[in-house]
Amino acid sequence: MQQKLITLDLDGTTLNNHSQLSPLTIKTLQKATRAGHLVSIVTGRPYRMARDIYDQLQLTTPMANFNGALTHIPHQKWDGEYSMTINKAVVYDLMRHKDDYGIKLLAVENKHSFFADHAAPATFDFFPHEISDDQVLTEKSLRGNPTSITILVEPNSAQFVKNQLLYRYRDYINVGVWGGPHSVLEIVSKGIQKAKAVDYLARYYHIDRQNIIAFGDEHNDAEMLDYVGRGVAMRNATAKIKSIANDITEFDNEHDGVAKYLSEYLDLAN
């Protein structure tokens, strides 16, 4: 079979509802790798929250974090690595206008650094519940431009704040709104989305678009599924994602949807 580039969203897709890889998923993705296909994680997660998953799968391919703002090969130097950053002046301005936007938590990250204005509340697991003094976000501590800005805002206000931020910083940023119980906005450099990372990887490895398979479930996967030759929505995906996709998995993320689909599509059963 022609070599495929397989790009995987993590949450709600490759991971189950406990944010874990199942034994079948690990086994199947490793089979795909041994069969000569390129398996690549393309996630909104920061590197710190995707590294262990990458290692469990024993991958050596590039990974894209922050919805494609950072693309790199973990644990090694890679000449193709890139990071698209946001001018730190945007962060300074947000810090000064926290009350105007109802910002309850402001955090910024790069590949290896994390800063927040304070530790995350116990109910919010995405960020550390304890931070060291040198991780406290100030104009002095933030010396470089961040790859990602994440803000927790007042309940049910995310869309309103998104509109405000896009009006104020429209020439510099893209803003995504998280699904789920928390009102969270994720900010990356203008023009960044997962399809750009996938296109970059395809060009790097000389793989045609029709030989790319992408799996996703949420709004930040839309451009990626639309771009590739075979965009696959999870059974548990949103209606919008299902409408964009070429196919839908028979099983959801809690029942090895990705693994079972790839096993059949790539004939990995033996």
pLDDT tens, the chain, 270 aa long: 799 999 999 999 999 999 999 999 999 999 999 999 999 999 999 999 999 999 999 999 999 999 999 999 999 999 999 999 999 999 999 999 999 999 999 999 999 999 999 998 888 777 888 999 999 999 999 999 999 999 999 888 999 999 999 999 999 999 998 877 778 999 999 999 999 999 999 999 999 999 999 999 999 999 999 999 999 999 999 999 999 999 999 999 999 999 999 999 999 976
Query: Do 168 and 94 belong to one domain?
Result: yes
Tokens found for residue 161: 């704040």
Note down the domain range covering 182.
86-187
What distance lies between CA 114 and its chain's CA centroid?
A: 16
Residue carrying the six token digits 């970059």: 200
Phi then psi for residue 137, to 5 deg, are -80, 120
CB-based contacts of 218, cutoff 8 Å, min separation 6: 9, 11, 12, 179, 237, 238, 241
In a domain, 269, yes or no: no
Residue 9 a catalytic site member: yes
Same domain, 229 and 258: yes
Instruction: Residue 173: name the closest of 191, 197, 194 by CA.
Output: 191
- Which of 187, 220, 249 corresponds to the end of one domain? 187
CA triple 238-244-247, angle to 5 deg = 90
Task: Give me 1's structure tokens.
Answer: 């079979």
- 9, 11, 217, 252: the active-site residue: 9
